[in-house]
Amino acid sequence: MARRLLTLLALLALATPAGAQQPAPPAGGSPTPSAPAPAASGVPTDAAYAAYQRGRYVTALNLAVARANQGNDAVAMTLVGELYSQGFGLPQDLAKAHQWYRAAADRGNADALFALAVLKLQGRGETADKRGAFDLFRQAAEKGNPVAAYNLGLLFFEGDVVPRDLSAAAEWFRRAADRDQPDALYALATLYRDGNGVPRDIGETARLLQRATLLDHTVATVEYAIMVFNGSGVPKNEEEAARLFRKAALAGNAIAQNRLARILSAGRGLPQDKVMAAAWHLYAKQQGLNDDYLEQMLATLTPEERTTAENKVRLWTGRAPVAAAPATASPAPASSTQGGPAKSPTPASPPAAPAPASPRPSAPSAPAGNGAQPSGPASSASP
């Protein structure tokens, strides 16, 4: 299984401006409460973070340094560490990032402990040390950081750093899931689905997947949609399943695109539309997911219908459409774009996606507003 740990703080932001002055980190001291102290300058305590989220990193740096030095503010210290770690607003300097994170961690800040764990795990600015990262993840998780709790659960699940302990993995996943960490909700759902570390419970699997779906976890959305379509652990509802598959398809998930294509080809949960079914099939096929049944359906389309489907995919992927092929003399089977749905064999319900052998967290997320956006058509591109 690919080992993919979440590695970015919730603070990550928008764009990188020019450099700024390079303040020195504060001297270490006795731990103090992690809540930010009021700034001596009278600047509102969230001003630095507001500047950070707007991409005004130089301003964020100046405000955070003032708060850190004047108010012994561990939250501000963590923000300065993040600016140095990511190279936002000033040259990247991992040594200074470590110093600022450590100063905040010494004052009990859970986010700083998590950041130090990530740097140690990845060997950024220091020798990689998985066991040391595990210890820091535990400290951060015990102070309430949900992403640290998720990563701790993943380390217990994988068993590379500490002995494999599925019960411990489930407990740490649960702590993170109780605070709505989406990857933890999904990971815990897979444990309940497979009976790993917890009793097998399809109802609880569905509940957790539904919650992760509400938090826009795409893989959870696909798996929950399959359960809803098949009536597994929840009441069967093909219309709701179609809506969920469409949501995940719009987020670029190939399995969801394939299932949506099957739904549209058969007219189950949505009105039959073979041209749109073909478009979603071709989109999924571009991502490496082929389907013999949909290939057979594609072969029944007229050249004009196929060109229409191909042009939809071109528009979704930012390519120019091509001219429609000349009409042929022979009539084509009717479709929803030509007077009504054609009759075709109704396939079985969309097959369930292969069950993952273990929790599969998402890849590290990109900075908010600055990362690769979900690929796929805009919401208005399909019915």
Burial of 171: CB neighbours in 10 Å, binned 0-12, 13-18, 19+: middle
Q: How many CA atoms lie within 13 A of 97 on its CB side?
A: 23
> Is the separation of the CB atoms in 116 and 129 below 8 Å?
no
pLDDT, position 253 = 97
d(CA 36, CA 52): 16
Asked if the structure places residue 266 within a domain, the reply is yes
Handedness of CA 279, 285, 287, 289 (dihedral sign): positive
Listed in sequence order, the residues at least 6 apart from 234 whose beta carbon sits closer than 8 Å to its beta carbon are: 206, 210, 227, 228
Q: Mind listing the pLDDT tens digit for each residue in 27-62?
A: 333 222 233 333 333 444 589 999 999 999 999 999
User: Does any domain span residue 66?
Assistant: yes
Residue 154 has a pLDDT of 96
Q: Which of 64, 86, 108 is the endpoint of a domain?
A: 108
In a domain, 290, yes or no: yes
Percent of the chain with pLDDT over 90: 69
Pairwise CA distance, residues 269 & 129, whole Å: 50
Is there a domain that residue 40 lies in?
A: yes
Residue 48's domain spans which residues? 15-108
Q: What is the C-alpha separation between 304 and 324, in angstroms, rounded?
A: 6
Q: Examine the fold and report which residue of 84, 108, 132 is the final residue of a domain before the chain moves on.
A: 108
What per-residue confidence (pLDDT) applies to 338? 32
Residue 142 resides in a domain? no
Q: Provide the whole-model pTM.
A: 0.73
Q: Tell me the pLDDT tens digit for each residue of 136-147.
A: 999 999 999 999
Residue 270, domain member (yes or no): yes
Domain total for the chain?
A: 2
On the question of pLDDT at 347 being above 60, the answer is no
Is 89 within a domain?
yes
Of the residues 108, 129, 158, the one at which a domain ends:
108
The token pair that represents 193 in the structure block: 């689905």
pLDDT at 324: 58
Q: Is residue 350 part of a domain?
A: yes
Residue 45 to residue 181: CA distance in whole angstroms:
25
